[in-house]
Every structure is written in C-alpha cells, then in structure tokens.
Amino acid sequence: RIAIVSNVTGAVASADELGGADYWVRHVRQAVRFADGMRWLESEGVTTFLELGPDGVLSAMGEASLSGQGATAVVAALRKERSEADTLARAVARLYVRGVGVDWTAVLGMATAGGARRVELPTYPFQRRRFWLDSAADADVTSAGLTPADHPLLSAAVTLADDSNVLFTGRLSLRSHPWLADHVVLGEVLLPGTAFVEMAIRAGDEVGCGRVEELTLQAPLLIPQKGAVRLQLVVDGEADESGRRSVSVYSRAEELSGDQPWVCHATGVLGGDAAPPAEHESAVWPPAGATPVGVDRLYERLDGMGYGYGPVFQGLRAAWQLGDEVFADVRLPEESAAEATRFGLHPAVLDAALHAMGLTALAEGGGTRLPFSWRGVTLHATGASTVRVRLTPAGGGAASGTAAGTGSDTVSVHITDDSGRSVASVESLVLRAASPDQLRSARPQSREHLYRLDWTRRPSDGSLPRDASSSGMVAWVGAVPEEIARIDTPEGTSTYRDLADLEAALPVGSSIPDTVVVSLPRTPGAVTDQVRAATEWALSTLQSWLADERYATSRLAFVTRGAVAAEGVEDLAAAAVWGLVRSAQSENPDRFVLV
C-alpha cells in the first residue's frame, strides 16, 4: 500500500480520516498545506518526487517548499505543449539516475521485436570535450564594394549613398555559428536577446555612438536546423540634436525569394556618449554578508521551465544573495573562451549573467520569460570570458513608454572583471513572458511552393472520360446547359427531370449509370435567395444520393458555370454549391465530381 500525505494536515492520513465526510469538508474549506506535506516527506528521507498530471504546475512549488539542504529533485511526468513521449522518457530517465527502480522491459519494449537493447558504456568518465568544426574564415567583402564589419555576427557594412544610412549585413546558421545550438527555448533554437544588444553595440561603434539607450525586441529570431537566415542592421545616417540615431534589426530566411518581406526583430536608439564606468568595486568577492545560493541543479530546473541551455550557455558557476541583490560568477567553457575576444561581450556571457534571476525571488511568476526591452546599455571593456555580475531589481517603465513591472519583471545589471573593473552595465532590462505558440508563429513561411493551382482551357468534343471498367452509361438530371446542348449527346446518355424521375425509371435489377450529371437549377430573385435555394437543393441532392445504395459504385457530377476563379467568380450561388460539395467530397472520396 502507498501512504497518502494529506494537504489538510501536512502529514500521513489514515484510512478512517479519508473515509469520513468531515475530512473532505475540511479539505474544501481549510488552507492547503502542500508545503507542510512536502517538508514532512523530506524529513522522512524522501529525496525524489514525481508529479503526475498534465503539466508541471506543482514541480516549481515543490522545489520552493523543500529546504534545499539535501540532494532532492522534483520531476514532472508531463509538460504542457510538449511531446508526451519525450517528456515522460526524460522523467523516467531522471528517476532512474536518482536510484529509482525502473522496469525497462515495460518502458522500452525490450521483449518485443524491434525494441530497445542494452549497450555497453565506456568504462571511463565522459570528458565533455568540444569537437565542433570551426567555421571558415569570413570571405573578403571588399571586392564587392563593402567594408568588413570584423564581427562574428555581422559580416559587412556600407554607407548608403542616398540617405547616408549605415547598413550592416550578416548571415547566421548552425553551421557557421554552432554555439547558437546551445540556446534552445521552448524547443526552438532562438537567437538570444543578448546577441541583438551585441550587434547594436557594434553598430554604435561604427557611427560614433557609445551607448545603447533603448533596444526593444519585437519578434523572436529562430535559427533553422538547416539553411540560414540573412541579417540586416540599419542605423540612421543623420543624428538628432543630442547625437542619437535610431537602429533596427531585420532578418529573412535564406531560402525565401527576393520578393518576400524582411521581418523586423528589434528597434532602438543609439546614444552619442558612453556612460562613464562605475567606480572600481571592492576586490572582496563575494561581498561581505552575502549568502551562498546553490546552483548545482539550476540548469535542470531551467530545463523544466522551457530553457534548453547547452554547455556554452551554462556559464553560471556560483551565486550569492544579499538583500534584494544577487551576485554571480560567470565563465565561458574553456573551449569557447578564445572566441570571446572577437566580441564586445559574448552573448553567452551576458545571457548566463541573467540566469542568476532563476535562483531567487527575482524568478517569481514562473513560466518562460525572455528579454524584451533594454535601456542604458554601455560596454566598458571587450573580450571578457570570465566576469562577476550584480543583479538588482529595478522599477520603472520599458522603452518607448511601454509600462513595465517591478521586481521580477525589471532588473539592472552591472558586470565587472575579476579585479572589479567595469565590463558592462545595463540600467534596466524588462522581461516578458513567451509561449510556444509565439515562437512557432515566428518560423519563416515560404510561399515558393512547387505546386500551384492553374486552369487550362480545353476544347470539348462532346465525349466524357471513361474508366476502363465503365459501362459508359451516363444520365443527365435537370436542364442541360446551353453549352452542352450544342454538343452532340454522348452515346448511352439519357436525360431525366430530377433524381426521383431517374429512380422511377430504373427497373429492378437494371444497370445503374456510371455517371449521373446534375446541373444547378436557376432561381430568380435576390442573390441571397439564390444562394439559399442553391445550397438547399445541393444538400438535398447529396443526401438522397448517399442514402440510395444503388448509387454506391456511381459518381454524381455537379455542372456549374462561373463558380470558381478561372476567369472570375460570376455566380455566387454556384460558388456556394462548390463549397458544399467540396466538403462532401472530403467525407466521401470518389463519390462526387465538380465540373
């Protein structure tokens, strides 16, 4: 038997308690003591918790209820809007590595043909070495009349002749930038918001602007598994009175043709003068009085919230809390440190600096949130791969007048090197919730299909196409259109007033026509009356045809004119009939034909 820990008492409930009505009245009316129950289980030595349900709603609450002193884990069996099979497999795997017994024969179907099989693992620990192939060096763009941008994300720059705007171009793919594959959010490879900041800083350097005053992200930029996306970053050629210039970032999938629109991902303002660096901070690290915060299971917890960070983005090494502030050590993996020198501030470094928000009250609200609006971003030193970070909750509004929350929604960031000298600062960063639907809608949609609908005019000789097994019998029901009447009637064709007339003319046991052709009757009056009468007639005809088993091997063909856009829709009543019959075709394949 499995003991039940009550949410009424926070301890094990007896069978007598659960069987009494008084208990369930208390269950409805009194406070839910979920946290007490979790702590009671922890005190009894339980270290692994499994949430059974359609989503991981209680997992985060369960984590917060535990003391955090032991090696505990809360595992959700399913996650909303994720593959059930994959999520359950991950949950079972996590339980197994924590010592929970698993019947792998049942889970993987080892006893069935084609099931999983056991394989031997190496006897030595995984060394986790990087084996990526370094991307080829940037091509020489000077031969194309461009200026090299000398940046990993931006390839070239050119000043446009007509308006003096400065245009930067680039190309991103998992082949040329494999480290981007380590930034997965809600199942999609997403260009981090910190990369937009990095590109804006580089553009500002080109035009003499040392500060990103505002940068608002409007749409996510997904990196395809295959292929690439092209980038354009545009900076206004003329600065205003205060030396400010607007900046915009666009992308378009490389596979799309030239007439497809570019998508605007970010807009902002570059300022003329960089903010002076903050005073040299104390070399004492962590700050006196700060309390250590465990980071051992941070990325496991973030994965459950939709952040699928790979090794390059798992840079948070240690964290501390002092009041409302969070302090953290961030370091790129050794194999990526050399690449950091090519950036102002590597996007993975700045992104990992924000991960400390998931450790404390800054993470209140749950769900998946992404950078939305940056204000007052200044880079003081370049090429850092190891930094110290201070995150402080900040109030105020987002860029461009957008209202922002406080506390968990808005944070200021200050980054220094190991000696306390400033590397970068962000006056205000606003986060915004993201959903799988939002990311899916950002996928590029190509309209360059190999197929398209076309109409080909074909002269008629009065004959109808016939199947090899067809008897050739054709029945016309209703008035024959003038265009058909002028053509010689095909051999074996009979005409009838309506379906009832046809049914009455068919003797018992006689052959049923292979094709019965009906023409839309004309109804005088307003267009709305014509549409109503036509659809009522078509529905009645379809139902009568399907109800008579004698027509099971025959086809009913509806003849219309001006119902489709071959040369323009001229008959709205006939168009409505087409729509109705198309629905019947999908439910009854090969029973109906539209002509």
CATH code of the domain in which 407 resides? 3.10.129.110
- Please state whether beta strands 422-433 and 386-393 pair in parallel, antiparallel, or not at all (unpaired): unpaired
Residue of 120, 85, 113, 98 whose CA lies nearest to 46? 98
- Please state the rounded mean pLDDT for residues 525-536: 88
Is 23 within a domain? Answer: no
Q: 446: phi > 0 → left, psi -120 to 50 → alpha, else beta; which?
A: beta
Instruction: Please check the confidence at residue 487 and state whether its pLDDT lies above 60.
Output: no
Instruction: Please check the confidence at residue 328 and state whether its pLDDT lies above 50.
Output: yes
In this prediction, residue 560 carries a pLDDT of 83
pLDDT in tens, 240-260: 888 899 999 999 998 876 678
Q: What are phi and psi of 349, to 5 degrees?
A: -70, -50
pLDDT in tens, 185-200: 988 999 999 999 999 9
Q: Is the peptide bond before 436 cis (omega within 30 degrees of 0)?
A: no
pLDDT in tens, 288-323: 999 999 888 888 888 888 899 999 999 999 999 998
Q: Write down which residue in 435, 464, 483 finishes a domain.
A: 435
Q: How far apart are the first and last CA of the chain?
A: 69
Residue 297 and residue 261 in one domain: no
CATH code of the domain in which 505 resides? 3.40.50.11460
Asked if 416 contacts 422 with a C-beta cutoff of 8 angstroms, the reply is yes
Is 18 within a domain? Answer: no
Residue 352 and residue 409 in one domain: yes
Is 91 within a domain? Answer: yes
Q: Which two tokens stand for residue 127?
A: 């060394």
255: amino acid identity, one letter:
E
Query: Which whole-number Å values give the CA distances from 222 to 257, 365, 370, 373, in the listed order?
Result: 18, 25, 14, 18
In this prediction, residue 466 carries a pLDDT of 47
Q: What is the DSSP letter of 45?
A: T
In this prediction, residue 570 carries a pLDDT of 75
591: amino acid identity, one letter:
R
Query: Which whole-number Å values give the CA distances from 432 to 52, 340, 450, in the listed order?
Result: 29, 28, 39
- Domain of residue 98: give its range: 33-108
Q: CA-to-CA distance for 416 and 392, rounded, in angstroms?
A: 14
Is 97 within a domain? Answer: yes
Predicted structure pTM score = 0.58
Does residue 114 or residue 170 have the better pLDDT?
170
- Please state the rounded mean pLDDT for residues 364-382: 86
In this prediction, residue 107 carries a pLDDT of 80
Residue 397 and residue 532 in one domain: no
In this prediction, residue 397 carries a pLDDT of 39
The SS3 of residue 458 is coil
Which residue is it, tokens 């208390």?
26
- Please state the rounded mean pLDDT for residues 137-144: 70
Residue 197 and residue 299 in one domain: no
Q: Write down which residue in 85, 108, 131 finishes a domain.
A: 108
- Please state whether beta strands 73-76 and 48-51 pair in parallel, antiparallel, or not at all (unpaired): parallel
Q: Quote the longest CA-to-CA distance of the chain.
A: 105
Kind and range of the H or E element at 92? helix 84-97
- Please state the rounded mean pLDDT for residues 149-174: 92
Instruction: Please check the confidence at residue 399 and state whether its pLDDT lies above 50.
Output: no
In this prediction, residue 112 carries a pLDDT of 52
Count how many domains the chain has: 4
Confidence of residue 231 (pLDDT cuts 50, 70, 90): very high
Q: Which two tokens stand for residue 139?
A: 């091509």
Instruction: Please check the confidence at residue 127 and state whether its pLDDT lies above 90.
Output: no
Residue 65 and residue 183 in one domain: no
Q: Write down which residue in 108, 123, 157 finishes a domain.
A: 108
Q: Could you tell me which residues come within 8 angstroms of residue 234 by beta carbon, excluding any fewer than 6 positions away? A: 165, 166, 167, 168, 247, 248, 250
Q: Which two tokens stand for residue 588?
A: 């009854």
Express the helix, strand and coil content of the chain in percent, nearest 5 each. Answer: 30, 25, 45
Residue 553 and residue 494 in one domain: yes
Is 124 within a domain? Answer: no
Residue 301 and residue 429 in one domain: yes
Residue 201 and residue 234 in one domain: yes
The SS3 of residue 114 is coil
Is 119 within a domain? Answer: no
Residue 430 and residue 486 in one domain: no
Contacts 24+ apart (CB under 8 A), 317-321: 318/286, 318/292, 319/292, 319/293, 319/295, 319/356, 319/359, 320/286, 320/287, 320/290, 320/291, 320/292, 320/293, 321/290, 321/291, 321/293, 321/359, 321/360
Residue 297 and residue 262 in one domain: no
Residue of 386, 344, 309, 310 whose CA lies nearest to 195? 344
Residue of 383, 386, 380, 375 whose CA lies nearest to 278? 380
Q: CA-to-CA distance for 455 and 474, rounded, in angstroms?
A: 25
Instruction: Please check the confidence at residue 373 and state whether its pLDDT lies above 90.
Output: yes
The SS3 of residue 557 is strand
Is 516 within a domain? Answer: yes
Residue 299 and residue 428 in one domain: yes
Is 345 within a domain? Answer: yes
The SS3 of residue 88 is helix
Residue 516 and residue 583 in one domain: yes
Give the chain's mean pLDDT: 83
Q: CA-to-CA distance for 411 and 430, rounded, in angstroms?
A: 7
Residue of 237, 232, 231 whose CA lies nearest to 209? 237
Instruction: Please check the confidence at residue 465 and state whether its pLDDT lies above 50.
Output: no
